Amino acid sequence: MLGLLQRLLGQETQSSKKIAKERLRLVLVHDRADVSPHFFEALKNDLVEVISKYMEIDTRRLEVKLHNSPEAVALVANIPVLGMKKNYGS
């Protein structure tokens, strides 16, 4: 009855297929990153290369990881900055 009412009022709960697809998408972000052992290494190296054009960074303390929340996966990078470059972008 409540279900019918909700449907009439257009507030139908999200279909279970949408939930399944979303969960699948999130779990695969992790799986695919985990499976390839060089994934984070390669990503770090590229980040260092780009950011070094703009800032002096502490590459040894640089941290990159995936952060989970129920509805999204975020790439979190912690990059200690030592100083700014004068001729940035070059």
Partner 1 sequence: MGKVVVITSGKGGVGKTTAVANIGTALAQLGQQVVMVDTDIGLRNLDVVVGLENRIVYNLVDAVKGRCRLRQALVRDKHLENLFLLPAAQTEDKTAVTAEQMVELCRELKQDYDFVLIDSPAGIEQGFANAVAGAEQAVVITTPEVAAVRDADRVIGLLESRGLKEPQLIINRIRPDMVRRGDMMDMDDILDILAIRLLGIIPEDEHIVVSTNRGEPAVWDKGSRAGLAFRNISRRLMGEEVPLLPIFNHGGLVQRLRRLMGLK
Nearer to partner 1, 15 or 69 (CB): 15
Cα Rg of the chain (Å, integer): 21
- Measure the N-to-C terminal CA separation of the chain; round to a whole number of Å: 66
Binders of partner 1 in range 32-51 (CB under 8 A):
32, 35
* Binding segment toward partner 1, per CB under 8 A, in 17-25, 51-59, 61-69, 81-89: 17-25
Q: Is 16 in the site for partner 1 (CB under 8 A)?
A: yes
CB 6 to partner 1: min, Å: 14
Q: Considering only CA atoms, which of 52, 57, 48 is closest in space to residue 83?
A: 57
Nearer to partner 1, 16 or 69 (CB): 16
Q: Considering only CA atoms, which of 25, 75, 7 is closest in space to residue 47?
A: 75
